[in-house]
Chains A and B, each alone.
Chain A
Amino acid sequence: MQTTDLIDRLAADLHPTSPGAAWKTLAVALSVGSVVALGAACVSFGKGNDFAAMLLTSSLWMKWAYALGVSAAALSLCARLARPEGAPGALPFLLGVPLLMLGAIALMEVAGLPADERRALWLGRTAVMCPWTIAALAIPIFVAVLLALRQLAPTRPRLAGFSAGCLAGAIAAGLYAIYCKETAAAFVVTWYTAGILLPGLVGVLIGSRVLRW
């Protein structure tokens, strides 16, 4: 096909584009993915704990604050990388801020405790399954975000995949918090972070293949 013919065709296919269209694509993906993840959590964990009582515990708010902080950082990185000229700048380091803050809280928490108590606090009762559950809950969100990114224009696919994975992992961590009975900051900073990084690493590995356009 001649390039002039192509231009005619593309011009005939032009529809007005709203300013927030790229954000909307990401937002729809996040909503759909999160609803599916929440549904999956409801089905597998049942009604779980008494939600009203949990809302009064500080540990739920700690987990939510952590999940929200990581989600916000990951979303801003993801949205930046969805544009072709988007350079990550300092945004990847922003992901480390909630981690450092919670890490500091965890250190204060365990300081002065004897080693076996420290260990008990750190491992809790669910250390083994926690990261895997978060990663599993992240799958629908992760897939939705990757599909959204494929419609946008990421030119750094590995980093974009990483941001999508961390974003999905952080939202999944927030959902998992509703069902999680652990209370220690040391637990959350280790095992929740592992659950967030797992999809992040998968994103690095598959990004260059999945996010090609």
Chain B
Amino acid sequence: MSEVESRLKDLMLLSLGGDGMAYRELLSKLSVRLRAYYRRRLGQGCSDAEDLVQETLIAIHARRATFDRTQLFTPWAYAMARYKLVDYLRRSRVRAAVSMDDCEEFCAMDETEQAAASRDVDSLLSRLPNAMSEAIRLTRIEGRSIADAAQRTGKSAAATKVSIHRGLLRLARLQAAGALDADD
């Protein structure tokens, strides 16, 4: 029997007898091991690891009666930890399935259509004065804030807003004219 096993099992036996100090020490030692276990399985950056640590501690607490004193402690605690991990992965696979659907939908978008659309936008923008097209490109296409766009173009926020507004109006007019052209 390993040293860890015998130490943890001693603490568990004391805890089952109602020794709060031993129990606190047991849960602290377990939380360190659980944290390492979940981080290793889920990746260092995963923020759910700490939630799983807490869920497992609560499960161990609520279900401590299922520990058989004649058996080893670590396999019991590990079975709890593993169950919580499997449960978590099953739950998150449902979530992953949803996001994968989104991805397929995303990939299924017609690329030629997309390319044609961006070409159209480029050609329309090229017919605007530089200040307007640049302001619209930065804010409406690249999604930057007005303040960010203003800083990049070296103009005031108010001037950028006006450029966007006027540019969009002019684009609408150009497009309407284009539609008429196409009708002809």
Contacts and interface: CB of A to CB of B under 8 A. Distances in A.
A10 B54 CA distance: 11
Interface in A1-29: 1, 3-4, 6-8, 10-17, 19, 21-22, 25
Interface stretch (A53-61, A138-146, A147-155, A165-173): A147-155
B79 A22 contact: no
A17 B63 contact: no
Nearest to A83: B66
A7 B57 CA distance: 8
Nearest to B35: A3
A153 B24 contact: no
Interface string B38-76: 000000000000100110011101111111110100011
A85 interface: yes
A7 B24 contact: yes
Contacts of A10: 23, 27, 57-58, 61
B24 A85 contact: no
Contacts of A19: 16, 69
Contacts of A212: 87
B83 A11 contact: no
B37 interface: no
Contacts of B87: 212
A13 B61 contact: yes
A193 B54 CA distance: 44
Residue in B27, B62, B66, B80 whose Cβ sees the most chain A Cβ within 10 Å: B66
Main SS class of interface, B: helix
A105 to B, nearest CB: 36
Main SS class of interface, A: loop
A85 B63 contact: no
Interface in B6-39: 15-18, 20, 23-24, 27-28, 31
B50 to A, nearest CB: 7
A96 interface: no
B18 A16 contact: yes
Given A14-B23, A153-B66, A85 B54 contact: no
B57 A84 contact: no
A84 B24 contact: no
Interface in A170-213: 212-213
A78 to B, nearest CB: 12
Given A12-B20, A84-B76, A152 B65 contact: yes
Interface string A42-64: 00000000000000000000000
B66 A22 contact: yes
Given A7-B28, A14-B18, A84-B76, 20 more contacts: A4-B28, A7-B31, A10-B23, A10-B27, A10-B57, A10-B58, A11-B23, A11-B27, A12-B20, A15-B18, A16-B16, A82-B66, A84-B63, A84-B83, A85-B78, A152-B65, A152-B66, A153-B79, A153-B80, A155-B79
